[in-house]
Amino acid sequence: MAQGKRGLFGTRLGVILASAGSAVGLGNIWRFPSEVGRHGGAAFILVYLCFVFLLAMPVMIAEFVIGRTSKANTVDAYRVLAPGKPWMITGCFGVLGGVLVLSFYSVVAGWTLRYTSDTLLLRMTSGQDFASVFSAFSSNPWKPLVYQLVFLLMTHLIVVRGVEAGIERFSKLMMPLLLVIIVVLVGCSLSMQGAKEGLSFLLKPDFSKVTPSVVLSAIGQAFFSLSVGMGCLITYASYFGRETRLVSSAFSVCVIDSVVAILSGFIIFPAVFSVAGVEPDAGPGLVYITLPYVFGNVFQGMPVVGYVFSGLFYVLLLLAALTSTISMHEIVTAFLSEKLRISRRGAAWIVTAVCFLLGAACSLSFGLWSGVKVMGMGFFDLFDFLVAKFIMPLGGIAIAVFVGWYMNRKLVLSQLTNEGSLRVRCLSLLLFLIRWVAPVGVAVVFLNELLS
Ligand code: PFF
């Protein structure tokens, strides 16, 4: 391993903002509110938060331990820490997951790019039939591909600049901007007429809606939202310096991610409840069909406010998507450039090209290839299913078992305490979560799903 040539994050803030940038994405602003809307509001949020801190955060810390100890990409990390053992299969699945997730995620990010530009260029006007607009666009054979390609090239440009000058600098600029946009939007949304109803939907738990399948979606959502289970954070942690505090950084990332997800609900639901006849349970169409309609209605007579609000909302979604796609791209780019001993630029081009082609297949599954099914699913749903239902939970179990049971206990403790220089509160509780709660919890839910 050419360790001397590997990048390094420059500051502790950079570490937290880059990891939070990976975590905060479409998963928070698009997927989380649509899951909350479908699964009964606050009850889902409570279950979700338990999983974030009891299952996903321990796995995140385990990824940090593997990455910083090995200082290698996701596959080589296992080769370094467990030479000659089959653990590196976990890393290979992580790289595969990175390719699949970037492929289908960039399709949705491409839609977001189109909605952002249309909103800013005043091409979204109230009175349009947004369901038809969305379905005509997403099923068009080439238009979504153009937006997807442009988005992938934006990701590419950041990744090729490297860890500190590209990923860290971009995250340090974008994450604070993102938080400011969120606060402005929450403020506007809370002053809307439907704010009270929207808030009570978000804050009053209805536990009758929490079925076993809702519990499973909450776990899937927690892993997806925190980017854990695929080794994305192993790759990032391989760029952490010796002074980075693994446990407190992971805790900060989980808090930032959860706050952003919940605030996204505070942005969306007051707006949704401000328009009579609009339901909060539209699912994935919430952001691309329901919201443009809602924006048009809520801001009738206040076109400037409406323009600023909806423009900021889609810019927020776009930036959040971008800070996440750079981390997916990085998993695969780091692996290829170190494995094939080629330049970062060359590796990044391979990743961009492959993900564009696979992403094109996902995009076409909404139109021209809607009849092409594998295991009964189009490519988009298939990739999503493979990542969220298999690669992430199984990867999460393997990562927790690797650090909790396989790795030398002293080494793990030394990573968690920065060679004994830090006092980490609840260290034994944390080890218990990594050894038992995370693997058993995820395995039970995974098996339950498999058997049903
Ligand atoms: N956490 C990202 C989101 O919430 O949008 C998605 C993601 C990023 C998943 C990176 C997996 C990953 F490796």
Distance between Cα 297 and ligand 1 center (Å): 32
Nearest to 112 by CA among 317, 311, 289: 317
pLDDT tens, position by position, 153-191: 999 999 999 999 999 999 999 999 999 999 999 998 898
Say what the pLDDT of residue 206 is.
Answer: 84
Rounded CA gap, 244 and 445, in Å?
A: 33
Ligand 1 atom closest to the Cα of residue 320 is 5
Indicate the length of the chain as a whole number.
452
Rounded CA gap, 86 and 102, in Å?
A: 26
Say what the pLDDT of residue 422 is.
Answer: 94
88-120 and 303-339 helices, crossing angle to 10°: 150
Distance between Cα 447 and ligand 1 center (Å): 23
Rounded CA gap, 304 and 227, in Å?
A: 36
Which of 99, 178, 328 is the pocket-test mutation for ligand 1 (most atoms within 8 Å of CB)?
328
Which of 96, 263, 327, 383 is the pocket-test mutation for ligand 1 (most atoms within 8 Å of CB)?
327
Indicate the pLDDT class of residue 2, thresholds 50, 70 and 90: very low
Say what the pLDDT of residue 364 is.
Answer: 97
Give, as one character, the DSSP assignment of residue 208: G
Distance between Cα 303 and ligand 1 center (Å): 34
Ligand 1 atom closest to the Cα of residue 224 is 9
Which of 324, 329, 391 is the pocket-test mutation for ligand 1 (most atoms within 8 Å of CB)?
324
Rounded CA gap, 448 and 213, in Å?
A: 9
Average of per-residue pLDDT values in the chain: 93
Enumerate the β-bridge partners of residue 205. Answer: 41
Q: Tell me the pTM.
A: 0.95
Ligand 1 atom closest to the Cα of residue 26 is 5
Say what the pLDDT of residue 285 is.
Answer: 79
Say what the pLDDT of residue 3 is.
Answer: 41
Enumerate the β-bridge partners of residue 374. Answer: 377
Lookup: tokens for 448: 């339950």
Burial 36-54 (b: 16+ CB within 10 A, else e): bbbbbbbbbbebbbebbee
Indicate the pLDDT class of residue 284, thresholds 50, 70 and 90: confident
Three-state DSSP at 266 gives helix
Say what the pLDDT of residue 38 is.
Answer: 84
Q: Is the pLDDT of residue 402 over 80?
A: yes
**Per mean pLDDT, which range of 197-206, 232-241, 362-371, 443-452 is the poorest?**
443-452
CA 297 to chain centroid, in Å, comes to: 30
Say what the pLDDT of residue 293 is.
Answer: 86
Which of 74, 101, 107 is the pocket-test mutation for ligand 1 (most atoms within 8 Å of CB)?
101
Q: Is the pLDDT of residue 127 over 80?
A: no
Average of pLDDT values for 85-96? 97
Q: Is the pLDDT of residue 275 over 70?
A: yes
**H-run or E-run covering 260:** helix 246-273
Say what the pLDDT of residue 245 is.
Answer: 97
Say what the pLDDT of residue 96 is.
Answer: 98
Say what the pLDDT of residue 126 is.
Answer: 76
Ligand 1 atom closest to the Cα of residue 25 is 5
Select, from the ranges 82-96, 196-210, 271-285, the one with the highest average predicted confidence (pLDDT). 82-96
The share of the chain scoring above pLDDT 70, in percent, equals 98
Average of pLDDT values for 83-104? 97
Distance between Cα 229 and ligand 1 center (Å): 10
Q: Are 42 and 208 in contact (CB under 8 A)?
A: no
Residue showing tokens 């189109």: 114
Indicate the pLDDT class of residue 4, thresholds 50, 70 and 90: very low
**Per mean pLDDT, which range of 80-84, 188-192, 232-236, 398-402 is the poorest?**
188-192
Enumerate the β-bridge partners of residue 41. Answer: 205
Q: Are 205 and 42 in contact (CB under 8 A)?
A: yes
Indicate the pLDDT class of residue 216, thresholds 50, 70 and 90: confident
Distance between Cα 230 and ligand 1 center (Å): 10
Say what the pLDDT of residue 303 is.
Answer: 84
Average of pLDDT values for 237-241? 97
Please state, in angstroms and as integers, the Cα–Cα distance from residue 89 to each residue in 64, 347, 396, following that order: 18, 21, 13
Distance between Cα 258 and ligand 1 center (Å): 13
Q: What contacts 336, CB < 8 A, 6 or more positions away?
A: 342, 347, 350, 351
Rounded CA gap, 323 and 185, in Å?
A: 20
Lookup: tokens for 430: 């944390």
Distance between Cα 367 and ligand 1 center (Å): 25
Indicate the pLDDT class of residue 109, thresholds 50, 70 and 90: very high
Rounded CA gap, 193 and 432, in Å?
A: 47
Indicate the pLDDT class of residue 336, thresholds 50, 70 and 90: very high
Say what the pLDDT of residue 110 is.
Answer: 97
**Per mean pLDDT, which range of 119-133, 220-234, 400-414 is the poorest?**
119-133
* Torsion sign, CA atoms 86, 23, 61, 51: negative
* Atom 7 of ligand 1, residue of closest alpha carbon: 227
Say what the pLDDT of residue 136 is.
Answer: 95
Please state, in angstroms and as integers, the Cα–Cα distance from residue 102 to each residue in 10, 363, 387, following that order: 26, 13, 11
pLDDT tens, position by position, 291-325: 888 888 888 888 898 899 999 999 999 999 999 99
φ and ψ of 407, to 5 deg: -70, 150
Please list every protein residue whose CB sits less than 6 Å from any atom of ligand 1. 22-23, 25-28, 101, 224-225, 227, 230, 232, 324, 327-328
Say what the pLDDT of residue 286 is.
Answer: 84
Ligand 1 atom closest to the Cα of residue 98 is 13
Distance between Cα 94 and ligand 1 center (Å): 12
Ligand 1 atom closest to the Cα of residue 321 is 5
Rounded CA gap, 426 and 58, in Å?
A: 12
